[in-house]
Amino acid sequence: MAGFSQCTNWKFCIKFYSDNKLTKKEPDLSLFSFGQMKMRISTGKISFEEVPINKMRNIWILSLVSFFTDMGTYMVTPLIPIFLASSGPFLIGVIDGLSESLASVLKFFSGRKSDRLKNRKGLALTGYGLSGVGRVFLIFSSSWIGVLIWKIVDRTGKGIRTAPRDALLSESGGKKKQGRTFGFHQMLDMLGAALGIGVAYTILQLEGSQNIKSVFMYSLIPVIVGWMILLTIKERRTQSEPKTSGGITYLQWKQLNPQVKSLLWIVGLFTIVNSSNSFLLLRAANLGVSTPNVLLMYLIFHLTASSLSYFSGVFSDKFGRRGILTAGYAVYGAVYIGFAEVHSVTGLVVLFILYGLYSSLTKGIEKALVVDMANSKNKGEALGFYAMITGIGLFPASLLTGWLWQSFGPEISFLINGMIALISAFLLTRSLRNIERLKNTD
């Protein structure tokens, strides 16, 4: 058959096929293309086919969107604890915990909505757009109230976009490459964060270490760039599911098997001690590290996580997720115990490197594990359900860490969190082993 042309941007076209040999017969096959759908007509038969979407292109686009958005976010995030240092660690914990918990609840409902409406791109655009809107409140803030408003708006956007975006990534990655897909996304995500921290450091060096508001203003630029890149994403559009449809069975706790429930309880336990990164930065400042050098330490963390995330994902695809995820939890516990005992700049640098290792061993791997367990029609909801459980725990985690810090000092706070994390790592490996054993007997 001769080649055919394809029309996009809602143009309608007709292309007749003919045999390579010249004949006088009328062609018996034609192709109508409309948007992302094409209609093939042959003698006595009509069939519809979908124009293939370049899935790797989608993975690159979504990863670049996260790259630029996190660049803008992490130009300001490590400066917030320093900006609010006079307010105390407890208030910092309240702001971080409240905003992240709100985002977590939204992730679940956003994921469910994206599964039903089949419009993940629209939800992602809305969520990423709110990050830009929230940044305006931060630019004009003069106290913790402005920071709280920014956090709530920004995290609301994150709550809306995360599950639909992760579902788009999962659909583009293929069943046997989930770890690699999420690892690649995590790599660019953390690389963008690292670059954002580097840009913030450069601005403070050029304009003075106290000129934090200038960094807030510049941070809006990459957020806008990321949102514009997202406009180019191609989503496979299918008919939305009615609310009463039996095609999607919404996840319910009672429908989960005991092994999965056990896993979620352990993840929830770990989340309760997985407090905001703001406390790590505050700890560095508490030990006398200057604001620019605190940024450099946070930069080291993100560079480490970025450089290792992809390889962790590939490794988990080949050898399983249990060992690598358990190791990540254990490293987290060791790092927090280290933050309780550290008293030197060299020690802090080593701990931030290890913290980057922890991130590379867990963030993308956890999402890949959720996708492994999820029904193909419930990916968005399953990812949102997982994000809700892990994120809601951040509120009590940050409150607990802030209260322990303020009442007993940072050493006790980090020590307790680290010990509970090590217990969680032990329980996690047992739970995942039981789930693997159950799958093998099915």
pLDDT in tens, the chain (442 residues): 444 444 444 333 434 333 444 444 444 434 333 334 444 444 444 443 443 456 778 888 888 999 999 999 889 888 888 787 777 777 877 787 777 777 777 766 666 666 666 667 888 888 899 888 888 888 888 788 888 888 888 888 888 887 778 778 877 776 667 777 877 888 888 889 889 988 988 888 888 767 788 888 899 999 999 999 988 887 765 544 444 444 444 555 565 556 666 767 777 788 888 888 888 988 998 898 888 888 889 889 989 988 888 888 888 888 887 888 889 999 999 999 999 999 999 999 999 999 999 988 987 787 777 777 666 666 666 666 677 777 777 778 888 888 899 889 999 999 999 999 999 888 888 877 777 776 666 5
For position 22, what pLDDT does the model report?
A: 43
Domain interval for residue 407: 55-239+256-441
Backbone torsions φ then ψ of 47, nearest 5 degrees: -135, 150
For position 100, what pLDDT does the model report?
A: 74
Stated length of the chain: 442
Instruction: Give yes or no: residues 33 and 63 share one domain.
Output: no
Strands (E), 18-61: 29-34, 37-42, 45-50
Q: Is 245 part of any domain?
A: no
Instruction: Give yes or no: residues 169 and 200 share one domain.
Output: yes
Instruction: Give yes or no: residues 160 and 201 share one domain.
Output: yes
Q: Which of 109, 104, 105, 102 is nearest to 123 (CA)?
A: 109
For position 168, what pLDDT does the model report?
A: 82
- pTM attached to this predicted model: 0.67
Instruction: Give yes or no: residues 360 and 405 share one domain.
Output: yes
For position 258, what pLDDT does the model report?
A: 64
Q: Is 182 part of any domain?
A: yes
Instruction: Give yes or no: residues 92 and 38 share one domain.
Output: no
CB 52 within 8 A of CB 37: no
For position 347, what pLDDT does the model report?
A: 95
For position 205, what pLDDT does the model report?
A: 85
Q: Is 246 part of any domain?
A: no
Q: Is 6 part of any domain?
A: no
Q: Is 218 part of any domain?
A: yes
For position 350, what pLDDT does the model report?
A: 96
CB 149 within 8 A of CB 168: no
Going by C-beta distance under 8 Å and a sequence separation of 6 or more, which residues neighbour residue 82? 212, 281, 285, 291, 294
Q: Is 221 part of any domain?
A: yes
CB 74 within 8 A of CB 302: yes
Backbone torsions φ then ψ of 7, nearest 5 degrees: -100, 145
* Edge-first strand listing for the sheet containing 45-50: 12-17, 29-34, 37-42, 45-50
For position 67, what pLDDT does the model report?
A: 93
Q: Is 7 part of any domain?
A: no
The span from the CA of 45 to the CA of 35, in Å, is 22
Structurally, how many domains does the chain consist of?
Answer: 2
Q: Is 301 part of any domain?
A: yes
Going by C-beta distance under 8 Å and a sequence separation of 6 or more, which residues neighbour residue 160? 106, 110, 123, 124, 126, 127, 130
